[in-house]
Amino acid sequence: MTAPNPDTPAVETTALRKIYPGIDGPPKEALKSVDLSVKPGSVFGLLGPNGAGKSTLINILAGLVVKTSGSARILGWDIEKNMRQARTAIGIVPQELNLDAFFSPREVMELQAGFYGVPKRERRTMEILTALGLDDKADVYARSLSGGMRRRLLVAKALVHSPPVVILDEPTAGVDVELRQSLWDYMKELNDAGTTILLTTHYLEEAEEMCDEIAIINHGEIIAQDTTSALLARLDRKEAHITVDRDINSLPEGLSGPGVDAEIRSPRELLIRFPPSQVHMGTLLDAVKKAGLEISDLSTRDTDLEEIFVALTSSSGDGLPPTRSGDPQAGTLEKSRTRPDP
Ligand SMILES: Nc1ncnc2c1ncn2[C@@H]1O[C@H](COP(=O)(O)OP(=O)(O)O)[C@@H](O)[C@H]1O
Ligand SMILES: [Mg+2]
């Protein structure tokens, strides 16, 4: 199925709102007024901490949760007025591993293909299972599959009708490093072949590695939407850790300037934060040397999404990242799970 117009967003929501009725407590407004626009052909990340409203949004798109107000379109098809076209345009990989234990992967795929009315001769059951490394498990009961295999089967199942838009809700939550990498590779392959990917995640590393564009959601509100590189550049901040050959008595003169913030971390270690667009790193190193210190080690770190998230959600709202030792009130995103802390 093709989009009515190549510029039509793959996914678009307008003032989308969801209020869950409270059972024991007050009603919960899970989505406040969400405007989102996903470019066709992109890998788009919806990044936010647990409880932010990611699954609610995805489940509305999937037709599993009924919105309270606002609208949503998939490739221009309204999820309510053009429900059939909208459902055909997307493949959804849910967060929960909801598979019938007594079906084999082959049966799961065939049932799903039947559900979407894919003619037998057009079915790609084994091709998709093979691509996800499940070909040798095609005929075993789903209940005997490992968690990682079930996750892959959910991805396979979402692809039976070759949807132009694939939506994955926390595709790598709780999966091991190896599977995560292979799922990422497979998502990239799908995207290279023209599929638009919308994924939700609370892992910063996943958003950074996978996504062309990111929307950050917190408490049911989109607080930023931009290209990944623009988001990362938004906070003009870099850190330099400098180790020197002798104990530092006082901060070298010259480690100052607009936006420069230096501190002595340990007797022989300096931490300098600076805005790279205004202050040259060479200038800072010169200042250290001028103070008679010999630099024995140096490492730098760019701003990461966590700092951006914290800056965007911090009450001060001055747009500057708090210090690392600060007490960010909303630091509940998960940091990289593979990179060691710098
Ligand atoms: N069926 C439901 N009934 C009531 N509240 C819900 C329901 N589903 C989710 N919520 C609440 O809505 C908020 C958003 O949840 P969810 O969309 O699952 O967030 P996320 O996927 O980002 O973790 C949370 O506060 C959650 O407790
Ligand atoms: Mg969720």
What confidence tens digit (pLDDT) does each residue in 185-213 have? 999 999 999 999 999 988 877 888 899 99
Mean pLDDT, to the nearest integer, of 161-176? 91
Task: Point out the ligand nearest to the CA of residue 26.
Answer: 1
pLDDT in tens, 317-326: 444 343 333 3
Assess contact for 239 and 271: CB atoms under 8 A. yes
Of ligand 1's listed atoms, the one at least distance from the Cα of 50 is 23
Q: What is the structure's pLDDT at 332? A: 59
Domain range annotation of the chain: 11-232, 236-302
Q: Which residues line ligand 1 (CB under 6 A)?
A: 20, 28, 30, 48, 50-56
Contact assessment for residue 134 and residue 105, using Cβ atoms and an 8 Å cutoff: yes
- Write down the pTM of the prediction: 0.78
Q: The domain 11-232 is classified under which CATH number: 3.30.950.10, 3.40.50.150, 3.40.50.300, 3.40.190.10?
A: 3.40.50.300
What is the reported pLDDT for 280?
87
Contacts of 255 (CB under 8 A, 6+ apart): 262, 270, 272, 284, 287, 288
What distance in angstroms lies between residue 20's CA and the mean position of ligand 1's atoms? Answer: 8
Distance 50 CA to ligand 2 centre (A): 6
Mean pLDDT, rounded, for 144-168 = 94
What's the gap in Å between 23 CA and the centre of ligand 1?
Answer: 13
Q: Out of 13, 16, 19, 20, give the residue to mutate to test ligand 1, the one with the largest number of ligand atoms within 8 Å of its CB.
A: 20
Nearest-CA residue for ligand 1 atom 27 is 51
Cα of first residue to Cα of last residue in the chain, in angstroms, is: 46
- Contact assessment for residue 95 and residue 170, using Cβ atoms and an 8 Å cutoff: yes
Query: Has residue 25 got a pLDDT over 50?
Result: yes
Question: What ligand is nearest to the CA atom of residue 59?
Answer: 1
* More confidently predicted of 146 and 330: 146
**How far does residue 15's CA lie from ligand 2's centre (Å)?**
20
Q: pLDDT class for 334, splitting at 50, 70, 90? A: low
Q: Residue 51: nearest ligand to its CA?
A: 1
Question: Cβ(74)–Cβ(57) under 8 Å?
Answer: no
- Kindly report the average pLDDT of the chain as a whole number: 87
**How many whole angstroms separate alpha carbon 324 and alpha carbon 303?**
11
What distance in angstroms lies between residue 201's CA and the mean position of ligand 2's atoms? 8
| Topology adopted by domain 236-302 | Alpha-Beta Plaits (3.30.70)
> Residue 137 carries which side chain, given as an amino acid letter?
K
pLDDT digits (tens, 9 = 90+) for 44-98: 999 988 899 999 999 999 999 999 999 999 999 999 999 999 999 999 999 988 8
Numbers of helices and strands, H then E, in the chain: 10, 14
- In 3D space, the residue among 292, 288, 246, 252 whose CA is nearest the CA of residue 267 turns out to be 246
- Measure 174 CA to ligand 2 centroid, in angstroms: 13
Residue 154 contacts residue 99 (beta carbons within 8 Å): yes
Residues 6+ apart with CB under 8 A from 207: 45, 47, 201, 214, 228, 305
Which residue, by CA, sits nearest to atom 6 of ligand 1? 20
Please state which of the ranges 10-19, 113-122, 245-254, 325-334 shows the lowest mean pLDDT.
325-334
Atom of ligand 1 nearest to the CA of 57: 17
Residue closest via CA to ligand 1's atom 16 equals 53
pLDDT number for residue 328: 36
User: Tell me, what's the pLDDT at 60?
Assistant: 97
> What is the 18 CA–ligand 1 centroid distance (Å)?
10
- Which residue has the CA at smallest separation from atom 25 of ligand 1? 51
Confidence grade of residue 244 (pLDDT, cut at 50, 70, 90) = very high
Phi, psi of 242 (to 5 degrees): -120, 125
In testing the pocket of ligand 1, which one of 16, 19, 28, 36 has its CB within 8 Å of the most ligand atoms?
28
- Closest-CA residue, ligand 1 atom 9, reads 56
Q: How far, in Å, from the CA of 54 to the mean position of ligand 1?
A: 8
Average pLDDT value for residue range 259-284: 90
Which ligand ends up closest to the CA of 48? 1
Local confidence band at 329 (pLDDT 50, 70, 90 cut-offs): very low
Q: How confident is the model at residue 330 (pLDDT cuts 50, 70, 90)?
A: very low
pLDDT at 147 over 70: yes
Ligand nearest to the CA of 50: 1
**Cα 173 to ligand 2 centre (Å):** 10
- Residue to substitute in 23, 24, 36, 56 for testing ligand 1 pocket (most ligand atoms within 8 angstroms of CB): 56
